[in-house]
Amino acid sequence: MITSGAFRGKRYAVLGLARSGAATVDALLASGASVMAWDTRETARAAFMPNDRLTIADPLLVDLDGLDGVVVSPGVPLNKHPIADKARAAGVPIIGDIELFAQARVSLPPHRVVGITGTNGKSTTTALIHHILVTARVPATLGGNIGLPILAQDPLPSGGVYVLELSSYQIDLTQSLDCDVAVLLNITPDHLDRYDGLAGYAASKARLFTMQSAHGLAVVDRTADAEFDVLDDANDPFVRFIDTVELSGQAEWPALQGPHNAQNAAAAIAIARLLGIAEEAIAAGLRSYPGLPHRMERVAEKGGVLFINDSKATNATSTAPALAAFPPIGDGAPRIRWILGGRAKTNDLDACAPFFGNVRAAYTLGEAGPMFAKLLRGDMAVCECNTLANAVAKAAAAAQPGDVVMLSPACASFDQFSDFEARGAAFRAAVGEV
């Protein structure tokens, strides 16, 4: 695990004892800090035995004066949860495990940090640049919103690179993460229940760059920068804009098809070049990248029908490039049988509309099913299926060789599944039954 003398003798409260919270408690205790830990779940609390430096207590019910920080899960809504006001009243900073990592960096061997944010494509780009680094034999690990909690990982040797996927929630809980390379892939409406409109959401993303020192480099989507003024103009000499215009070789990268993956690849190439990775290693990494589960994952091909699991596409903007990735071929007929629905984040599918011509039929499910069915009728055949298993069965039964049965739901999963991973696993299982 990552520990630091910077925490020795300090006092923290940790609210939420899931994976990152549990790793935070362990790292702080191993660093010589005192911790007050709490989770509303008794089973989570039971995993920790109180001692002279660990107490189990709800920070909402005790005095917070004198604490060096309240460490909360990114899932805690700071605009609604009472811990936010209580900590501010006590003058105690509200932080996350990424901020603790930032403070621990002084204790680590010389290294670099790449921080990647954006509405869509974060996980793929993070995993891709990590893969390129490993291909180039550079010590690297990934963390943040992907993989193991960063504090649970062993420190990298000298010359290593920490590649962090960072949600806006994680950035909100971070004050001093000075990324050697900070990356913004895009900004589209998302999580607006946590922010003061789209501008507030964009401002959260932009903080990744304001935390950088003068030597920091940036890789940024030009459109997002122009619309939201993400960068200080003084940093322009240190900026690389994501540009897919001159991108070649995508046909040789089997796990990186579609226009969204063109952007992800362009960003990863820019990052790798800033890190000094040789062009040969970059090319080899792009060719051998295996892809991530639930992100345009090729689950199976049966009878000439391809089954794609894109469960991670939780909004229309992230589904649109998945639809764009499979245009009509041969006789010019559309070939996508699109499974969509769940808990809607917006009441439209406007981002997907330019690619409706690629869709042979839609199979709707979940809370948003009736709304999406109404939106799509007139543009394509629609089958209201309610459940994912039913949608897969009906799509597979109607599919012809050359068709693509694709789960790309444009919705959150929480109406019928615990998360997008559970939804993707259910899709795999349903495909196994056809």
Which residues are part of the catalytic machinery?
122, 145, 191
Residues contacting residue 183 through CB under 8 Å, at least 6 positions apart: 114, 115, 116, 117, 118, 125, 218, 219, 220, 267, 271
Q: Are 165 and 144 in contact (CB under 8 A)?
A: yes
Phi-psi region of 90 (alpha: psi -120 to 50; beta: other; left: phi over 0): alpha
∠ CA 27-154-156, nearest 5°, is 130
Tokens of 227: 């619309």
Backbone torsions φ then ψ of 411, nearest 5 degrees: -150, 155
For 229-302, where are the alpha helices, taking DSSP H only? 259-274, 279-288
**List of E strands, 44-130:** 54-56, 69-72, 94-95, 111-117
Q: Are 151 and 1 in contact (CB under 8 A)?
A: yes
Q: Are 207 and 224 in contact (CB under 8 A)?
A: no
Task: List, as one string, the DSSP characters of 157-175.
Answer: PTTEEEEEE--HHHHHT-S
Residues facing 111 on adjacent strands: 160
**Among the listed residues 129, 208, 132, 114, the one whose alpha carbon sits nearest the alpha carbon of residue 170:** 208
Provide the terminal-to-terminal Cα distance of the chain, rounded to the nearest Å.
Answer: 44
